[in-house]
Homo-oligomer: A and B are copies of this chain.
Amino acid sequence: MLAIGTLARRTGTKVQTIRYYEEIGLMPEPGRSRGGQRRYASGDLDRLAFIRHARQLGFTLEAIRELLGLADNPERSCAEVDAIARRRLHEVEARLARLEALGTELRRMIGECRHDRVADCRVLEVLQDHAECLTDHDRPQA
């Protein structure tokens, strides 16, 4: 039986985060020692590793909850799993496009700055006037 700190170390998760996952029902309520400390089985370790890995790939906790739910029905088609992953890919691609536009705009802004008085700063001028922007960069979310 594994203590919570062991799970934390093995998955690179903070102890509080594991308790948080339990609170929101992503991790099961584990057994307890006589003194009331959490004791995990190795299946719990796998589940946590899955969650963490999916988080690293940017899946939301809601998406992960769905994925875990789907994984419980091994005989069903994995079309839904696929759909969730594709949705995530589309998000990533959309975000990439936006971030690229942002990067372009920032580089241009910085490149035009002659580094003298604030009064003449191109960076501030561009920020003041959206019309000076060449690219679309609505709602970057990052």
**Binary CB contact string for chain A from 108 to 142 against chain B (1 if under 8 A, 0 otherwise):** 01100101111111011001101000000111111
* 26 A-B contacts (beta carbon < 8 Å): A53-B130, A56-B137, A57-B102, A67-B127, A71-B124, A73-B118, A74-B119, A76-B117, A77-B115, A77-B116, A78-B113, A78-B124, A81-B118, A82-B110, A82-B113, A82-B115, A85-B109, A85-B110, A89-B107, A92-B102, A93-B103, A95-B99, A96-B96, A96-B99, A96-B103, A141-B142
User: Which residues in A have some Cβ–Cβ distance to B below 8 Å?
Assistant: 46, 49-50, 53-54, 56-58, 67, 70-71, 73-79, 81-82, 85-86, 88-89, 92-93, 95-96, 99-100, 102-103, 105-107, 109-110, 113, 115-121, 123-124, 127-128, 130, 137-142
